[in-house]
């Protein structure tokens, strides 16, 4: 599985399909993107090794768990009905339970025994009981956004929510996994949705981003949510839009999955993955899903927008970079007049459409082809000079940090062009790059840091766990053939003095055997123990650990 140069495949040259790797013989992962039943009553797990007794709390995970309703199948991995998982850890023992999110989408689909609410990659099936004319009219009915919140668990004002990227979140009880309230962002502020990756300050103040669509075009909004509740039953009261940034192309805003935050700035990365709003609006008439309205435009640069968190003022300086695609940031911090942004990025933004269910269930050469045409994501560092003024010279590298090979060059009055530094050595290529990055968030988010953790991707899903040491860019790897670990979550030990004092938790999916919760020593990356679950779990997206006193 060697790194190969990007080449155009001769037989596909008409379609202009890029090949980034030349991997052969990938094993089938069909079973880890297959539907399961939920297990709402806790079941015990088998402990192998030792789960440290100081770990007390709930490890919560979110992801798709049901990929068909009746005879109708969802098209895209992101469309599966949200299944919430809880690993309750106490005194070295672990119980497991799961529950389908009781969303309107889930209930309506169940009631009709068909896909009745459109998802990211799947359009609703017309009601078979309606005549041709009624079916045609139903295409004109108002487009109801899905509330199938299957991406992550997030916190606002101390409450837990599950989120996707529409305007609807669900408040969830982390003990029972039951949905207690449906919350609509647009009832509080003028946005049409919000990301599933907010950032939280130490005091609990939370920042997020969401789009709004007006007669003047589309806007990217920075959202601020207060840290605490004034009354017990409130949700997003007091949320405000810190600032609105107009999309360069009014009808084709950029897609973004997350954003970066440093001590004083929110950083919005406007990447050349575009949403064609006209196509989205007419999609239902044409029987097309939202995923058909997303496209990659490599003729455009990537733009970093800096927003001051306390004033809401947008920097007049635009920081440009070559086209890149990013889903997850690692960290961002300010030091010596520079803003350092670390993120996972690839040079091609067409990946999102490759993750349809049909592709993920392929086997043999067809599966290899899907993988080899996907551009890998790698950790990168951009260094943005904060003090660009009239005196700042043009056409020379402004980065004066020692040992930094990133560059920032002023090319116009308000434009600085940036190139990145790789946050890895050549050896990461052997592991298929890195995604689902995590850090010791509570202590080191927005601060200089040394370690990050992630999944290596020698398959369409993570197949290794990686710890990266930025001092020397050295890696530690956990791997086991045929086992697919999910996003690693760092949990600090009670009396931690060093950044990596703690454990890494990851749910590992094995297609033909049982799933298990893996606990690694974060420092040595050696396995401490695992809790084997006697039921199958599909591969999920994001999770969080909630410590209990």
Contact call for residues 345 and 378 (beta carbons, < 8 A): yes
Contact call for residues 148 and 124 (beta carbons, < 8 A): no
Phi, psi of 485 (to 5 degrees): -75, 145
Q: Which residue has the tokens 């003095």?
A: 497
Q: Which residue has the tokens 């690839």?
A: 346
Contact call for residues 186 and 241 (beta carbons, < 8 A): no
257 marked among binding-site residues: yes
Adjacent-strand bridge partners of 505? 489, 519
- The SS3 call for residue 371 is helix
CA–CA separation, 398 and 417 (whole Å):
10
- Pair of tokens at residue 424: 């890895």
Contact call for residues 355 and 374 (beta carbons, < 8 A): no
Contact call for residues 43 and 515 (beta carbons, < 8 A): no
Between the alpha carbon of residue 487 and those of residues 52, 92, 385, 495, 504, the distances in Å are 20, 22, 32, 24, 10
Adjacent-strand bridge partners of 68? 73
Alpha-carbon torsion 113, 140, 151, 240, what sign? negative
- Closest Cα partner for 78 from 545, 542, 544? 542
The H-or-E segment that residue 135 falls in is helix 132-138
420 marked among binding-site residues: no
Terminus-to-terminus CA distance in the chain, angstroms? 46
Strand 57-66 relative to strand 81-90: parallel, antiparallel, unpaired? antiparallel
The H-or-E segment that residue 230 falls in is none
- Closest Cα partner for 238 from 196, 197, 206, 264? 206
Phi, psi of 313 (to 5 degrees): -80, 135
- Pair of tokens at residue 479: 């791997």
For 292, half-sphere exposure in the C-beta direction (CA atoms, 13 angstrom radius) is 16
DSSP code string of 17-68: -EEEE----PPP-GGGGS------S-EE-EEEE---TT--EEEEEEEEEE-E
- The SS3 call for residue 211 is strand
CA–CA separation, 338 and 190 (whole Å):
33
CA–CA separation, 179 and 20 (whole Å):
42
CA–CA separation, 191 and 212 (whole Å):
5
CA–CA separation, 295 and 275 (whole Å):
7
199 marked among binding-site residues: no
Q: Which residues are annotated as a binding site for Fe cation?
A: 197, 257, 328, 542
Binding residues: 197, 257, 328, 542
């Amino acid at each position: 599985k060697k790194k190969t140069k990007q080449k155009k495949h001769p037989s596909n040259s008409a379609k202009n399909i890029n090949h980034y790797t030349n991997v052969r013989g990938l094993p089938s992962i069909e079973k880890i993107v297959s539907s399961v039943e939920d297990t709402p009553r806790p079941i015990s797990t088998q402990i192998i090794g030792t789960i440290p007794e100081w770990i007390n709390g709930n490890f919560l995970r979110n992801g798709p768990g049901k990929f068909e309703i009746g005879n109708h199948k969802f098209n895209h991995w992101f469309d599966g009905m949200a299944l919430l998982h809880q690993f309750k850890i106490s005194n070295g023992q672990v119980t497991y339970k799961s529950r389908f999110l009781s969303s309107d989408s889930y209930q309506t689909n169940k009631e009709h025994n068909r896909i009745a609410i459109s998802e990211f990659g799947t359009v609703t099936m017309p009601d078979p009981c309606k005549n041709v004319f009624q079916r045609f009219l139903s295409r004109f009915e108002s487009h109801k956004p899905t509330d199938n919140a299957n991406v992550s668990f997030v916190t606002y004002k101390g409450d837990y929510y599950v989120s996707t990227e529409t305007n609807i979140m669900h408040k969830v009880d982390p003990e029972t996994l039951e949905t207690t309230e449906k919350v609509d962002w647009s009832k509080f502020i003028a946005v049409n949705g919000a990301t599933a990756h907010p950032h939280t300050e130490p005091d609990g103040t939370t920042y997020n981003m969401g789009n709004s669509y007006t007669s003047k075009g589309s806007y990217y909004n920075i959202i601020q949510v207060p840290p605490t509740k004034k009354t017990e039953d409130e949700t997003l009261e007091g949320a405000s839009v810190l600032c609105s940034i107009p999309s360069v192309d009014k009808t084709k805003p950029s897609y973004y999955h997350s954003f970066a935050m440093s001590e004083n700035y929110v950083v919005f990365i406007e990447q050349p993955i575009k949403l064609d709003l006209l196509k989205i609006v007419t999609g239902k008439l044409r029987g097309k899903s939202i995923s058909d309205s997303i496209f990659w435009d490599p003729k455009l640069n990537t733009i970093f927008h800096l927003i001051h968190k306390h004033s809401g003022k947008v920097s007049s300086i635009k920081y440009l970079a070559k086209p890149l695609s990013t889903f997850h940031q690692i960290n961002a911090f300010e030091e010596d007049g520079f803003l350092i942004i670390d993120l996972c990025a690839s040079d091609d933004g067409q990946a999102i459409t490759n993750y349809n269910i049909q592709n993920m269930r392929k086997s043999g050469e067809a599966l290899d082809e899907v993988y080899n045409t996907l551009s890998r994501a790698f950790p990168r560092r951009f260094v943005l000079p904060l003090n660009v003024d009239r005196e700042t010279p043009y056409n020379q590298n402004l980065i004066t940090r020692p040992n930094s090979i990133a560059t920032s060059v002023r090319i116009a009055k308000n434009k600085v062009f940036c190139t990145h530094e790789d946050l890895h050595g050549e050896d990461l290529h052997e592991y298929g790059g890195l995604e689902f990055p995590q850090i010791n968030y509570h202590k080191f988010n927005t601060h200089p840091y040394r370690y990050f953790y992630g999944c290596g991707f020698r398959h369409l899903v993570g197949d290794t766990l990686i710890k990266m040491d930025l001092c020397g860019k050295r890696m530690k790897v956990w791997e086991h053939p045929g086992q697919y670990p999910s996003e690693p979550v760092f949990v600090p030990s009670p009396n931690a003095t060093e950044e990596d004092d703690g454990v890494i938790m990851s749910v590992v999916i094995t297609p033909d055997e049982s799933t298990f919760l893996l606990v690694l020593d974060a420092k040595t990356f050696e396995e401490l123990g695992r809790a084997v679950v006697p039921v199958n779990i599909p591969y999920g997206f994001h999770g969080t650990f909630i410590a209990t006193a």
